[in-house]
Amino acid sequence: MPFHIYLNKKIDKLDFTGLKIRVTPVYKDIVEAMGGTTVTTAPGEVYTALERGVVDGYGWPVTGIFDLGWEKVTKFRMEPAFYSVEVGVLVNGLGATPKEELYILYRAVARILDGEGIRVHRVWVGEYATSLEMAGASLTFIRLDDELHPRDMHEPPPGGDSDGSKSK
C-alpha cells in the first residue's frame, strides 16, 4: 500500500520549509528531513485541522481518504508514493456465491489495487466464513509485515490452488 503526502498548498520542489504536516511515526522522519514541522493529531481531528489551517497537509496511505471525507479539504497529492507495503487479499464467499464469481470479484479488486500501486502478494479465494447459503462476498485486505510475510507464502501449496483446494 503506497504512502503519500497530501497538501493544501502546491509546492514546486521537495521542500516543506514553513509547512505544518500532520504525521504518524512512518512520516515523521521524511517530513522533518524535507524541512517541515510535524504535528500529531488524532485521525478524527485531521479534517478540522485542515479546514482551519492548523496543518497544511498530512501523511496517509492511499486508502481511507474518502471514507474520512478528507478529499473535501485536500488539494494535492504528492507523487510518487515514498513507501509501499504488500497486502494479502481474502475473498470470502458467504455460502451461495459461485467460486467463479468470487474470482471475477478478485480480478476487479486486483485491477483497482494495481492502479493504486498496491502489490498483492497472496490471494485466498473461497468460502472461509459462511452464512447459511447467503449470497454475497466479503473482502479482507491484510497488510503483510515481517511476521505475516513468511517466505513460504510465495507459492500455492503443492498440488493446490491459491485457496488450498486441489487442482482438477
How many CA atoms within 13 Å lie on the side-chain side of 7? 17
Same domain, 55 and 20: yes
Within-domain flag for 122: yes
Q: Domain holding 71: CATH number?
A: 3.40.190.10
Q: pLDDT value at position 122?
A: 87
Same domain, 11 and 73: yes
Q: pLDDT value at position 86?
A: 78
DSSP secondary structure code for residue 31 in this structure: H
The contacts of residue 96 (CB under 8 Å, 6+ apart) are 133, 134, 135, 136
Least-confidence region, from 12-21, 113-122, 136-145 = 113-122
Within-domain flag for 41: yes
Within-domain flag for 160: no
Comparison of pLDDT for 165 and 3, the residue scoring more: 3
Same domain, 42 and 102: no
Same domain, 109 and 57: no
pLDDT in tens, 32-90: 999 999 999 998 899 999 999 999 999 888 778 888 888 899 999 988 777 666 789 99
- H-run or E-run covering 71: none
Domain that holds residue 68: 3-77
Domain boundary among 77, 112, 130: 77
Counted domains in the chain? 2
Domain boundary among 59, 77, 95: 77
| Beta-strand relationship, 3-7 and 76-77 | antiparallel
User: Which amino acid, residue 160?
Assistant: G
pLDDT in tens, 83-110: 666 789 999 999 999 999 999 999 999 9
Q: Domain holding 90: CATH number?
A: 3.30.1180.20
Same domain, 100 and 70: no
The contacts of residue 104 (CB under 8 Å, 6+ apart) are none
Domain boundary among 45, 77, 109: 77
Same domain, 96 and 150: yes
Same domain, 101 and 146: yes
Within-domain flag for 16: yes
Q: pLDDT value at position 80?
A: 75
C-alpha cell at 70: 478528507
Same domain, 107 and 48: no
Give yes or no for residue 137 having a pLDDT over 90. Answer: yes
Query: Which among 23, 18, 22, 14 is positioned nearest to 51, based on CA atoms?
Result: 22
- Cα-Cα-Cα-Cα dihedral sign, residues 125, 126, 132, 134: positive
